[in-house]
Amino acid sequence: MPIPPTNAPPAPWARSLRSVKEQTLRWPGGWARIGPWRGSQDIGYLSIGAERPPTSAFVDRCLDALSRDGYSSVVTSALAPAETLPFADRDFGVRERLHLLEHGMSGLERPMLPSRRARRSDRAPLLEIDARAFDEFWHIDQLGLEHALRATPASRFRVCERRASDAARGEGRSALVGYAITGRSGLQGYLQRLAVAPEAHRQGWGASLVADGLRWLARHGVVRTLVNTQIKNEAALELYKRSGFSLLPVNLVVMDRTL
């Protein structure tokens, strides 16, 4: 069972190191990455990469490591139903349910609006957009952005921005209005992250970023692309449906528990 956290708070230097510390733990069926959730000092993150569900003993091992690092709670990556049992056995509850959608990569539309390759200097303003586009629980930081870019062997990072003549009419402090990270692994594609500034919604930016990513995947031979979104995010769900995605008859879940 997990080691109970000590009553004494971690030393300041330990908390500072923990804010960037990550570990990869392995078992015969796969691996898990543990570290901070979205840069949090108190919430740990447990991300599973596996060909089969982890064992309860391996979940215990991950919880032990998170407890030793001083986290008070933990959040999992999005899990398929078959992966949830060992977590439920260790008193995890469902934090969020997600729609899972797929695209068969036929009938792809051209982007209506232009995009360009993201630059490193874009990252700070893009994270500001991300913070306004999602609930606080789903905000990402620089480390989360890196994870999205490195989650697959190949990725595409694109941004949309207003032309200078249009930017003055926007309410944001930057001409940037949104971004998308698309990844691929073999014949499988993933829409990893999509965020558009709230004041730029329903103007075609999101649809154009999705179309750009899908066409890039198709050029590299991808035959199926997946994306997930919060069940309560009806606007995102409709965007993906308009872009040719179809709902799969299964939901993913994010689980959590205290330590």
| Each residue's pLDDT tens digit, 21-40 | 789 999 888 889 999 988 78
Is pLDDT larger for residue 12 or for residue 215? 215
> Rounded to two decimals, what is the model's pTM?
0.84
For residues 142-171, give the mean pLDDT.
82
Residues 67 and 10: beta-carbon distance below 8 Å: no
pLDDT at 221 over 70: yes
Beta carbons of 19 and 142 less than 8 angstroms apart: no
Identify the band that residue 169 occupies on the pLDDT scale cut at 50, 70 and 90: low
Alpha-carbon distances of 170 from 176, 205, 249, rounded to whole Å: 10, 14, 39
Question: Rounded distance, CA 72 to CA 106, Å?
Answer: 46
Q: Mean pLDDT throughout 94-98? A: 96
Token pair 């490195």: residue: 150
How is residue 30 written in tokens? 């796969």
What distance in Å separates the CA atoms of residue 57 and residue 189, rounded to the nearest whole number?
Answer: 32
Q: Is the pLDDT of residue 145 over 80?
A: yes
**pLDDT computed for residue 166 by the predictor:** 52
Is the pLDDT at 67 greater than 50, yes or no?
yes
pLDDT for 91 equals 97
